[in-house]
Amino acid sequence: MRVPAIAFVSAMLLADDALSTEIVCDGHEENLQTYLDMTRILFNERDHERAGEFYADEFVSHNVDGGGLGTATRTPEHMQRIWIGSKKNSPDRRLTNDLIVCNGDVVVARVTMKGTRVTGEMEGNPEGGRRYETSATDTYRFKEGKVVERWGNNDSIAMIRQLGLKVDLSLTPLED
C-alpha cells in the first residue's frame, strides 16, 4: 500500500475542485499521475497540441471516434482533431473525475462532463446555447508512460435529450 502517493494525489484533487473524487490505486501511481495530468491538460485546459505527451505515436482505440465503429489504430494527431472540434462545439466543457481505479498498467475513470453546446442551428437541430451534463467511463492502458490502448463510453442519449438534438441512430459508420 502506497499511502503517501494516494494522499498526495487526493490533496492535489482537492485543490482542483474535484472534492468528490474517490481514488483506488494499487501500484503504478505514475500511470495515475499521467492520467490526472492528461485530464487537466487535454480535457479541461483543452490544449490539444500536447496530445503527443500522453498518447503513443500509434495506439489502439476501442472508442467510436468520429462515429466509426469497432477498434482502430489512432495517432495523437487524430485526437487533436477530435479536441479541436469539441472545443469549437463546447468551449466550456469540463470533465470531473468521480471515481478512479488503477491497477498495473490500467487506469479506469468514471467521470462527469458538463458544458454548453454553442454550435448554431444545423441539420434541423436547434441553435446552440443549451447546457448538458452526462457521465462517461474511460479505460486507459499505459506503457512507458503513454496511452497505448483506450476504451470509452458515455451517456450519449442523455446528452442528445438535454441538447434537444435530432440524430440518425443508424449504425452506419461516419467517414474519418
pLDDT for the residue numbered 171: 57
What is the structure's pLDDT at 38? 95
Amino acid found at 125 = N
Instruction: Examine residue 137 and state whether it is found in any structural domain, yes or no.
Output: yes
35-94 pLDDT, tens per residue? Answer: 999 999 999 999 999 999 999 999 999 986 655 567 889 999 999 998 888 888 888 989
Domain span at 18: 3-163
Question: What strand order describes the sheet that includes 94-103?
Answer: 22-26, 94-103, 106-117, 130-143, 146-154, 55-61, 72-74
At 36, which helix (H) or strand (E)?
helix 29-38
The answer to whether residue 169 is domain-embedded is no
**Percentage above 70 pLDDT, the chain:** 75
> Does residue 176 form part of some domain?
no
Is residue 152, in this structure, part of any structural domain at all? yes
Q: Does position 7 have pLDDT exceeding 50, yes or no?
A: no
Question: Total domain count for the chain?
Answer: 1
Asked if the structure places residue 34 within a domain, the reply is yes
Distances (CA, A) of 96 to 19, 47, 74, 167: 10, 17, 25, 26
Q: Which residues contact 55 (CB under 8 A, 6 or more apart)?
A: 74, 75, 76, 79, 146, 147
The secondary element (H helix, E strand) that includes residue 86 is: helix 76-89
Contact 61, 138 (CB under 8 A): no
Is 175 contained in some domain? no
147 domain-assigned:
yes
Per the domain annotation, does 174 fall within a domain?
no
The CATH number that applies at residue 7 is: 3.10.450.50
Cβ neighbours of residue 92 under 8 Å, at least 6 residues apart? 115, 116
Query: Does this model's pTM top 0.75?
Result: yes
The total number of residues shown for the chain amounts to 176
